Amino acid sequence: MRCFARFHALPLTLLALSISLWGAARLFAPHCGSIPVQAAELKPIELPKPQVAGGMPVMQALAARHTTRAFAERSLPPQTLSNLLWAAFGVNRSRNVKSGLGRTAPSAHNRQDITLYVLLAEGVYTYDAEQNLLRPVLAGDLRGVGGGASKHAAVTIVYVAPSKDDYAQVDTGFIGQNVYLFAASEGLNAWFYALHGHDAAAKLALDSDHSALYAQSVGYPPQ
Ligand SMILES: Cc1cc2nc3c(=O)[nH]c(=O)nc-3n(C[C@H](O)[C@H](O)[C@H](O)COP(=O)(O)O)c2cc1C
């Protein structure tokens, strides 16, 4: 009888161990809702502190904002990447007990549900705005996830949200416009576009309850 109990205890122990490991993985995952298939060779990228002064006056940036679907094959300096992501959806106010983090774009119910997947030549990262760093998700160059010239852009940002968030499209629009205005101010090209959601979600290894809504590629103008 004791033997029988031991025989059954082993699979149960293994099951409990797997559940605990899965739970721990979720705990340390970025708060984007997807389980990262973390590439061992990629390390988190600490971004330089964003420069939050300067740039073009807002009326001039609005006058210059436009879509351009062509890019030079040239990466952004870390400072420019940091500034871009901060402009997109960075933290612009200290944490408030009631409302949490203040961000550069509004969000319905202040849910701050949109996760920026940052696709660089070296891999895919998520933007941790509070820590100002990029958390690795996948190795490999997926910048061209949207097709066309996006593969040459310095960075492609994919906007990922919980599929059940009815306001996610609106929230994404605010972030996308921030990116357009930053690009205009810096003389960078920018292109916001729709994705084949299922294909993009599979490539980015998203959880089934998350969607890749849109993407936006940013980079230097071709020579
Ligand atoms: C919700 C949304 C979806 C878009 N999808 C695409 C797209 O799939 N492909 C594309 O080339 N451009 C796309 N665009 C860019 C628009 O075509 C572009 O903004 C429009 O032609 C106006 O040009 P402008 O941004 O230079 O003013 C999209 C823009 C928005 C706001």
Q: Tens digits of per-residue pLDDT, 18-39? A: 444 443 443 333 444 444 455 6
Residue 95 Cβ contacting ligand 1 at under 6 Å? no
pTM (global) more than 0.85? no
% of the chain residues with pLDDT over 70: 82
Which architecture does CATH list for 33-219?
3-Layer(aba) Sandwich (3.40)
Q: Which residues of the chain are modeled with pLDDT < 70?
A: 1-39
- 130 and 101 Cβ atoms separated by less than 8 Å: yes
- 151 and 144 Cβ atoms separated by less than 8 Å: yes
Among 172, 193, 199, the mutation site with the greatest number of ligand 1 atoms within 8 A of its Cβ is: 193
* Domain segments of the chain as ranges: 1-30, 33-219
Residue 93 Cβ contacting ligand 1 at under 6 Å? no
Cα 192 to averaged position of ligand 1 atoms, centre (Å): 6
Residue 66 Cβ contacting ligand 1 at under 6 Å? yes
Residue 180 Cβ contacting ligand 1 at under 6 Å? no
Q: What is the pLDDT of residue 100?
A: 81
Among 62, 67, 181, 199, the mutation site with the greatest number of ligand 1 atoms within 8 A of its Cβ is: 67
How wide is the angle at C-alpha 175 spanned by C-alphas 173 and 180, nearest 5°?
90
Tell which residue, 172, 32, 182, 30, has the closest CA to residue 107.
172
Residue of the nearest CA to atom 19 in ligand 1? 67
Sole residue written with tokens 């416009």:
177
- 121 and 207 Cβ atoms separated by less than 8 Å: no
Strand partners, 124: 119, 138
Instruction: Provide the 3-class DSSP secondary structure of residue 135.
Output: strand
Structure tokens at 140: 């490999």
Structure tokens at 10: 């082993």
Tell which residue, 190, 194, 197, has the closest CA to residue 217.
190
% of the chain residues with pLDDT over 90: 77
